[in-house]
Amino acid sequence: MTFVGECTRPRVLAKAPRLRELFPIVSAWAPKRAREGACAPRKPAATSFMKPTLIVLLVSALLPITAFATPEDDRFQKSAKDYVEGLLEANPEYATELGDHRFDDRLTDYSDDAVTKELARAKDVRQQIEQFNDLTKLTGPNRVDVRLLKDNLDNEIFGIEELKEREWNPLLYNQSLANSLYLLVARDFAPAERRIPNLRKRLEGIPAVITQAKANLKHSPKIHTETAIEQTQGAISLVREGLSPLLNQAPQVAKDLGPIQEKTAKALEDYKMWLQKDLLPRSDGDFRLGADKFRKKLRFALASDLSMEEIMQRARADLAQTQKAIYETALPLYKKYFPNTGKTALGDKKKVTVAVLDKLAEQHPDDNTIVGYAQKIVREATDFTKQHDLVTVPEKPLDVIVMPEFKRGQGIAYCDSPGPLEQNGKTFFAVEPTPKDWTAQRKESFFKEYNNYMCRDLTVHEAMPGHYLQLAHSNEFRAPTLVRAIFQSGTFVEGWAVYCEQLMAEQSYGGPEVKMQQLKMRLRVICNAIIDQGIHAENMSEKEVMDLMMKEGFQQEGEAVAKWKRARLSSAQLSTYFVGVAEQLDLRDRAKARDGTAFNLKNYNDTVISFGSPPVKYVRELMGL
């Protein structure tokens, strides 16, 4: 899924996009992260936000990992290890993505027998985990990770028994049909001579996955089938043209791969025809999840104490507050850009806001310049973050790249970080040119939305100090099990990125012009939550979505059209941004209230991202807040 602001690291078996064209950009430095409990700043500060009680709490969390593990720890760690091992073996593309390359020659088995076996295994482990209800018998990260594992087991069981996506969502199979191949091409985790044989095996396995997809898919929603058709063409291009960066590194090993590539491409062409001629005419499924399933999925996706009703109530209230804030930011800019306007016009809040946003939108990139401009802005945001000493900047490399064709059509950009088990991996900041079949007018509207100032805010979210920085820190977290590494909280990850937009605006990054975009993006985040719930639980119509986005959220038509598509293709993920940033800001307010004048922003930010990427409620617990 690749959408604006969405980091593609899988949280719970999520299927992540990848790319093929690489454009190197910028590096910085950062030390290794400490184990949980050793999250104080690397260099002692004159004033630290941590009180003595918190230091005792954190040290007590650290010590059991290294010296005082209990028998309960040992039993939990064995159960967790066994489950993770089976999970990765059953989902080999996911294992590759995480950086475990033992299964790089395999593809997921989508058959009834395989799913039945996985369900039984999940239920068995879930029953085992019930014995660890007394958290006092566990130590260190295990106290959090046992709860994470419970939630994710419940989520897996819910997905298999109730959601049943393999029966209606053709996009699910793209993890095997396209992403499985690109994962072996994009990252130089091993010599080409080792990766190409695995690539061959996966190419040879694709026809079997296609057979399973045809057998499984029954009543798909039309929008899912249409998008699968578009992305399958991208998969065909990937097989025929996009594997060269790897194959050219070892031509002797790849010399007889051509016939296999062509056979696989023809199988994908046949599959595309089947999607068009067979599945599409009978794609009568409802893209709306329904209130009951949405409520359950939302609970798993957010790992928050907020109910569905509370989220909607807070979103509606924040919508009005943010509309007021964006008008107050727009007013002096309106006077600057339109100095001859009478006082009467200044009182029309929506007119003033729209006029300023339209004026700022006049400066924008296009298909030919968007990637180069993104490279420039990443350097700028990195320098700003360092100069203002906001958070420790990591040394991990970051590449700004063009989004691969097989993942286009759902949003402008995504952050794709290396898996937590990967060594020396790069992070990709993928930017999408507009689809070739868009009209000139639609392209213009799209890039007015993603104008020069909005690109700055988007780069903050996706790269610096947002997803790229946070996930680089997250990958340095160490615990006795891999639970926290592979089950990352999307609410924490997205909440941090949206929080960083506000953090940079508070430091005057880009001036009031960029703050306008930050507030506009906050309005979009709020609209995301309203639309997510509105569509899947309240029968919200396309017109209502478009009106909310354009009239209340001040979004361009192109963004509103894309959001209507995205919201039908996904469920629950759109809410993670709003709930995530609300929890991040509440967390910072708690730290400020506790520490008073001793509060140190960099120390605080470094500590928040030192625990991996668990739900915010566990970060709050670990920080003693």
Structural contact between residues 611 and 618, judged by C-beta atoms closer than 8 angstroms: yes
Strands 427-431 and 398-402: parallel
| Lowest-pLDDT choice from 117-126, 178-187, 589-598 | 178-187
The secondary structure of 467-481 as a DSSP string is: HHHHHHHHTT---SS
For the chain, the straight-line distance linking the first and the last C-alpha, in angstroms and rounded, comes to: 34
CB atoms within 10 A of CB 419: 25
pLDDT at 50 > cutoff 60: no
pLDDT for res 21 = 23
pLDDT at 404 > cutoff 80: no
pLDDT, average across residues 109-127: 97
pLDDT at 452 > cutoff 80: yes
pLDDT for res 414 = 82
Cα 202 to the center of its chain, rounded Å: 26
Which is more confidently placed, 251 or 19?
251
pLDDT, average across residues 96-117: 96
What are the CA-CA distances from residue 52 to residues 55, 136, 274, 303, 327 (Å)? Answer: 5, 22, 65, 29, 43
Cα 16 to the center of its chain, rounded Å: 9
pLDDT, average across residues 597-613: 98
Q: What is the pLDDT of residues 477-498, one digit of tens each?
A: 999 999 999 999 999 999 999 9
Cα torsion angle, 570, 12, 378, 497, sign: positive
Give percent above pLDDT 90 in the chain. 75
pLDDT, average across residues 432-456: 85
Q: How confident is the model at residue 172 (pLDDT cuts 50, 70, 90)?
A: very high
HSE, CB side, 13 Å, CA atoms: give it for residue 30. Answer: 27
Instruction: Give the CA-trace dihedral at 399, 404, 410, 416, to 10 degrees.
Output: -30
DSSP β-bridge partners for residue 402: 21, 431
Q: What are phi and psi for residue 429, nearest 5 degrees?
A: -105, 100
Residue-level length of the chain:
625
CB atoms within 10 A of CB 336: 11
Structural contact between residues 399 and 24, judged by C-beta atoms closer than 8 angstroms: yes
pLDDT for res 403 = 80
HSE, CB side, 13 Å, CA atoms: give it for residue 370. Answer: 25
pLDDT, average across residues 439-456: 88
Quote the DSSP letter at residue 433: P
pLDDT at 398 > cutoff 90: no
Q: What is the pLDDT of residues 327-342, one digit of tens each?
A: 999 999 999 999 988 7
pLDDT at 347 > cutoff 50: yes
Quote the DSSP letter at residue 500: H
Closest to 362 (Cα-Cα) out of 453, 278, 435, 258: 453
CB atoms within 10 A of CB 592: 15
Which residues fall within 8 angstroms of residue 72, CB to CB, at 6 or more apart? 132, 134, 137, 138
**For the chain, which residues make up each domain, given as ranges?**
6-25+300-622, 62-299
3-state secondary structure of 12: coil
The secondary structure of 259-276 as a DSSP string is: HHHHHHHHHHHHHHHHII
pLDDT at 18 > cutoff 90: no
| Lowest-pLDDT choice from 67-71, 74-78, 358-362 | 67-71
Radius of gyration of the chain (CA): 24
In the numeric block, which tokens belong to residue 283? 């794609």
pLDDT for res 407 = 59
CB atoms within 10 A of CB 31: 11
Which residue reads 């260099």 in tokens?
Answer: 43
pLDDT, average across residues 107-134: 96
Q: How confident is the model at residue 405 (pLDDT cuts 50, 70, 90)?
A: low
Which is more confidently placed, 5 or 453?
453
Quote the DSSP letter at residue 510: T
Mean pLDDT (the chain) is: 87
pLDDT, average across residues 222-234: 96
pLDDT, average across residues 224-242: 95
What are the CA-CA distances from residue 492 to residues 355, 527, 606 (Å)? Answer: 34, 19, 14
Residue type, 496: W
pLDDT for res 409 = 53
pLDDT for res 408 = 61
pLDDT for res 432 = 78
In the numeric block, which tokens belong to residue 110? 């989508």
The secondary structure of 591-611 as a DSSP string is: HHHHHGGG--HHHHHHHHTTS
Closest to 487 (Cα-Cα) out of 3, 2, 10, 1: 10
Cα torsion angle, 319, 320, 323, 325, sign: negative
pTM: 0.84
Which residues fall within 8 angstroms of residue 166, CB to CB, at 6 or more apart? 110, 115, 172, 173, 216, 217
* Integer Cα distance of 91 and 193 in angstroms: 24
CB atoms within 10 A of CB 40: 20
* Integer Cα distance of 143 and 15 in angstroms: 28
pLDDT at 618 > cutoff 60: yes
Instruction: Give the largest Cα separation in the chain, rounded.
Output: 76
pLDDT for res 449 = 82
Structural contact between residues 356 and 570, judged by C-beta atoms closer than 8 angstroms: no
* Integer Cα distance of 110 and 583 in angstroms: 37
pLDDT, average across residues 268-291: 97
Which is more confidently placed, 67 or 33?
67
Q: What are phi and psi for residue 220, nearest 5 degrees?
A: -75, 150
Structural contact between residues 480 and 602, judged by C-beta atoms closer than 8 angstroms: no
pLDDT at 9 > cutoff 50: no
pLDDT at 472 > cutoff 70: yes
* Integer Cα distance of 443 and 440 in angstroms: 5
Q: How confident is the model at residue 26 (pLDDT cuts 50, 70, 90)?
A: very low
Closest to 374 (Cα-Cα) out of 417, 419, 426, 414: 414
Which is more confidently placed, 3 or 438?
438
pLDDT for res 411 = 58
pLDDT at 59 > cutoff 70: no
In the numeric block, which tokens belong to residue 453? 């100032």
* Integer Cα distance of 4 and 572 in angstroms: 15
pLDDT at 8 > cutoff 90: no
Which is more confidently placed, 345 or 220?
220
The secondary structure of 355-393 as a DSSP string is: HHHHHHHTS---TTTHHHHHHHHHHHHHHHHHHTT-SPP
Q: How confident is the model at residue 37 (pLDDT cuts 50, 70, 90)?
A: very low
DSSP β-bridge partners for residue 427: 398
Q: What is the pLDDT of residues 521-564, one digit of tens each?
A: 999 999 999 999 999 999 999 999 999 999 999 988 878 998 99
Strands 24-26 and 398-402: antiparallel
